[in-house]
Structure 1
Amino acid sequence: MFRVIEQIRNNLAGPTHWGLNESGMLAGQEVEDLLRAKTLWREAAENAITVAEKMMELCLHKQVVNRILEPFSTISAVVTATEWSNWYELRDHEDAQPEIRDLAQAMRQAVSRSSPREVGSGKLDDAHT
């Protein structure tokens, strides 16, 4: 738990686009007072940390405490697929949530720069020959 709190304090996750409230599912223009918005986000993270620490004092399990910290944490994940076109069509799109769009664009760029190579047939016997 303390590792998550330290990670938040050292590498706070948050919005990549600080959009103004408007109708629809996606914000276009960013808020004018960006510094204030980011300061409030940092305050919210510190408040969440305070609550998480109090929950830990009650000996609540980390699966409960982590829920308070999730909006401010980063995650690592391994994602596999054989077909990415639908992902890119939906997520590397102007109507996608900005953070997901950033991820989709980074993934597309990484794939375009990679040079895949076959390392075996995938048969279990290959490991023993």
Structure 2
Amino acid sequence: MEISQEQAMARKQSWPLAGTFAWESAMAASLCGDTLAYRTLLQESARWLRRYYGVRLAPFALDDAVRDALLVLHTRRHTFDSSRAFLPWLAAIARYTIERNANQARVARDITSPFIRSLHIY
């Protein structure tokens, strides 16, 4: 679906980007196939996720967490209920991503711990 430059500018101007981004409108438009709306939604989501993870995770884990959350957003966007707010849905994805990564790290540590102990290098 190719749109003209004028249509793209009109759509971009219809979304107030400074502080009052229209999350639900952008998500609804992206679900209808609007690639500009989807790109803008992902950019704003990444910005929000960086702030969210910035106070919860170590700096070296920030990029991976944002990438994982955006991947979940992409694969699960069809489950978004347009009658509800977008940010709580995104926050749930962010929390899920933190919990999943913590569980994976715990499982990996539990699997490798007996082997590491058997090497007597701790």
Would the TM-score normalized by the shorter structure come out above 0.5? no
Greater relative CO (CA pairs within 8 A, separation 6+):
1
Which structure is larger by alpha-carbon Rg, 1 or 2? 1
When normalised by structure 2's length, the TM-score is 0.30
Higher helix share: 2
